[in-house]
């Protein structure tokens, strides 16, 4: 659509006003050579396209026309400007005074006076100065109307764009005037407030945010990250709040403001997602088929769906947190947050604020607006307190109150915060002995040990050790982009013969070490952590010591060659028995200088795994 056609009603009004003052036919033609507005006989031709060769087409194609005030065309039938006009033979115009309509330095159309008789022609020539000045001013008025309409359209577009953006955000957004009365609200606002839009508009902001000071100039410095109470159908809940003042009229200094708000619970959920909530780990994901592990998984499944507090006993590295995650994910709280915290890994002075959060100004360095603690973040889910035996006595009292009343206060706070959580605690210490020594409260102990479980150490899970080792081998093959097929027989016997005081965690670290070091298709004794190999040898040999790991491998190969023979078939059987490739066997025989002579010698017997 041409710019003149977009303001057609206005251009027709201009034409009607001009024709009422002067006795001429008036026409406005746009840059597509179409008649947009007209008087007299031209009023009936609106929409007609004059096409190639017309006066307007010639003028619009002439770059110099934009710089001329007007053009006077006399006797069109004999004027060169009309020689190519397709309607020249039917034209009844005696003279034409044509003025360009310019916008943004471009000609967007023409405004013309047409004389249809000699008298009108003479009048145009005689009064050309006044008429051309008049047309120029009308042209400028039309041009300004084009600008006004486009500015309005641009403002409307920006307003719609801004409204679309504001309505697309999850936060509630309200605008208010200098008196604090809400004038606008996005779509999320009423939904969060559980109100209809008419119930929000026209209300004072303090009726929505009761804790907001009456003096709204608090927003003057772009205040943000407040936590305020928000009225929701008569109920109050915590809201994360930010706002700023906006000057609406610089001359008068009148101001209003803008507030965005979001439910604290939803903010907490975002924090949890960005800080790694557990996935879908369940009991079936916990590796192991020994009786000890199957029994404890079965018993823990039975209590997962309750809200009773669970206390996990177990040595370091037995996977207590994995069991806690499985309890959470198989419970009705599985879609809620799982918050783990190690009570022994956080300094005593910081532990209270980590667990319960703090209010703004509670201590030097406290963040503006305060900070929620783990119990607040765990609302609707499960909190896992590992190493509960390391919790200081004064915090044990506060924890006991949370378990009894489901309430707590932030550090420096006076208002109680209610939380709906399930607690799973864990320790590798003897809490009953700590009670006798006055290091742990007996009332808290009884609250924690409603349902106690002992996670068995790895040495009591004989059938699981190699299963876990193969699981970790597959895991680190993927992570480290290796393709190690398994363990040779000597390494398997070392894995089964070691006591694993660090339990599953130590086994996992040992396999990761071996996968990093190993260059053969299978894990060999040379790539296994030396301290573990050495520990197994000490247990089996007493004071006797194998000098090197090379001797261990060499003796194993020699014993196998003696048993299967030195021929090709025998060597193939040796490679299969040792869990290595034939090429690796030949390489090691060359490396250890193993030949028929060394096989026939009276070799000292070494440890048989």
Query: Please, what is the angle between helix 530-541 and helix 549-564, to 10°?
Result: 60
CA distance 558 to 571: 11
**Which regions of the chain carry the CATH code 1.10.8.60?**
459-600
User: What pLDDT digit, counting tens, does each position of 84-106 carry?
Assistant: 666 666 677 788 888 888 888 88
Lowest mean pLDDT among 137-146, 181-190, 310-319, 429-438: 181-190
Handedness of CA 394, 395, 400, 405 (dihedral sign): positive
HSE at residue 393, side-chain half, CA atoms within 13 A, is: 8
Q: What is the pLDDT of residue 71?
A: 82
Selection from 470, 277, 535, 498 nearest residue 382 by Cα: 277
**Which regions of the chain carry the CATH code 3.30.450.40?**
3-150
Of residues 167 and 316, more confidence is placed in 316
CATH number at 170-263: 3.30.450.20
CA distance 375 to 275: 15
Selection from 408, 318, 406, 308 nearest residue 356 by Cα: 408
Lowest mean pLDDT among 296-300, 392-396, 446-450, 602-606: 602-606
Do residues 281 and 325 lie in contact, with contact meaning Cβ atoms separated by under 8 Å? Answer: yes
Do residues 232 and 261 lie in contact, with contact meaning Cβ atoms separated by under 8 Å? Answer: no
Selection from 124, 149, 126 nearest residue 10 by Cα: 149
Do residues 108 and 2 lie in contact, with contact meaning Cβ atoms separated by under 8 Å? Answer: yes
**Which regions of the chain carry the CATH code 3.40.50.300?**
277-456
Q: What is the pLDDT of residue 546?
A: 45
Do residues 268 and 255 lie in contact, with contact meaning Cβ atoms separated by under 8 Å? Answer: no
Q: What is the mean pLDDT of the chain?
A: 81
Among 3.40.50.2000, 1.10.8.60, 3.50.50.60, 2.40.37.10, name the CATH number for the domain at 459-600.
1.10.8.60
Give 13's contacts (C-beta < 8 A, 6+ positions apart). none
Please check the confidence at residue 341 and state whether its pLDDT lies above 90.
yes
Among 3.40.630.10, 3.30.410.10, 3.40.50.300, 3.30.450.40, name the CATH number for the domain at 3-150.
3.30.450.40
Lowest mean pLDDT among 207-216, 405-414, 524-533: 207-216
CA distance 82 to 17: 29
CATH topology (fold) of 277-456? Rossmann fold (3.40.50)
3-state secondary structure 49-67: ECCCCCHHHHHHCCHHHHH
User: What pLDDT digit, counting tens, does each position of 106-117 carry?
Assistant: 888 889 888 888
User: What pLDDT digit, counting tens, does each position of 453-463 carry?
Assistant: 999 999 888 78
Q: Where are the beta strands (DSSP E) in 136-251?
A: 172-176, 182-185, 226-232, 235-249
Determine the length of the chain: 609
CA distance 432 to 534: 37
Q: How far is CA 210 from the centre of its chain?
A: 31
């Amino acid at each position: 659509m041409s710019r003149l056609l977009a303001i057609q009603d206005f251009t027709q009004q201009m034409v009607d006003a001009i024709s009422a003052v002067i006795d001429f036919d008036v026409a406005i033609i746009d840059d597509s050579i179409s008649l947009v507005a007209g008087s007299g006989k031209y009023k009936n031709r609106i929409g007609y396209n004059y096409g190639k060769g017309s006066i307007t087409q010639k003028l619009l194609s002439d770059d110099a026309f934009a710089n001329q005030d007007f053009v006077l065309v006399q006797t069109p039938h004999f004027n060169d400007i009309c020689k190519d006009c397709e309607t020249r033979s039917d034209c009844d115009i005696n003279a034409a005074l044509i003025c360009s309509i310019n916008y943004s330095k471009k000609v967007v159309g023409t405004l013309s006076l047409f004389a249809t008789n000699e008298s009108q022609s003479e009048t145009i020539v005689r009064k050309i100065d006044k008429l051309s000045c008049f047309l120029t001013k009308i042209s400028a008025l039309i041009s300004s109307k084009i600008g006004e309409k486009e500015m309005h359209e641009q403002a409307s577009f920006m307003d719609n764009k801004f409204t679309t953006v504001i309505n697309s955000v999850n936060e509630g957004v309200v605008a208010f005037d200098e008196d604090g009365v809400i004038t606008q609200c996005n779509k999320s606002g009423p939904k969060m407030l559980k109100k209809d839009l008419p119930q929000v508009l026209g209300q004072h902001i303090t009726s929505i945010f009761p804790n907001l000071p009456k003096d709204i100039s608090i927003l003057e410095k772009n205040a943000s990250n407040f936590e305020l109470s928000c009225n929701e159908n008569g109920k109050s809940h915590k809201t994360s709040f930010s706002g700023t003042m906006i000057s609406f009229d610089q001359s008068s200094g009148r101001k209003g403001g803008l507030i965005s708000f979001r439910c604290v619970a939803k903010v907490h959920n975002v924090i949890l997602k960005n800080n790694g909530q557990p996935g879908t780990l369940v009991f079936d994901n916990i590796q192991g088929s020994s009786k000890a592990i199957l029994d404890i998984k079965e018993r823990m499944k039975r209590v997962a769906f309750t809200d009773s507090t669970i206390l996990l006993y177990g040595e370091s590295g037995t996977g207590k947190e994995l069991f806690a995650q499985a309890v959470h994910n198989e419970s009705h709280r599985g879609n809620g947050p799982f918050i783990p915290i190690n009570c022994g890994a956080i300094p005593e002075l910081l532990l209270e604020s980590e667990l319960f959060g703090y209010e703004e100004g509670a201590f030097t360095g406290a963040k503006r607006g305060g900070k929620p603690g783990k119990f607040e973040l765990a609302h609707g889910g499960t909190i896992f307190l590992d190493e509960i035996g390391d919790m200081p006595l004064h915090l044990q009292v506060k924890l006991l109150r949370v378990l009894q009343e489901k309430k707590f206060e932030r550090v420096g706070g006076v208002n109680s915060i209610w939380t709906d959580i399930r607690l799973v605690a864990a320790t590798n210490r003897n809490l009953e002995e700590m009670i006798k020594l006055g290091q742990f409260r007996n009332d808290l102990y009884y609250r924690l040990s409603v349902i106690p479980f002992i996670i068995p150490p790895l040495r009591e899970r004989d059938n699981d050790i190699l299963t876990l080792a193969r699981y970790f081998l597959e895991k680190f093959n993927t992570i480290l982009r290796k393709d190690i097929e398994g363990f040779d027989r000597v390494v398997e016997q070392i894995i089964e013969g070691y006591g694993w005081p660090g339990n599953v965690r130590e086994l996992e670290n040992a396999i990761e070490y071996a996968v990093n070091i190993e260059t053969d298709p299978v894990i060999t004794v040379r790539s296994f952590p030396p301290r573990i190999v050495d520990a197994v040898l000490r247990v089996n040999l007493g004071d006797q010591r194998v000098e090197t790991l090379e001797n261990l491998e060499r003796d194993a190969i020699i014993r196998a060659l003696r048993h299967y023979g030195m021929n090709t078939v025998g060597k193939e059987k040796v490679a299969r028995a040792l869990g290595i490739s034939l090429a690796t066997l030949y390489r090691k025989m060359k490396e250890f200088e193993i030949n028929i002579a060394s096989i026939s010698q009276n070799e000292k017997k070494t440890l048989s795994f």
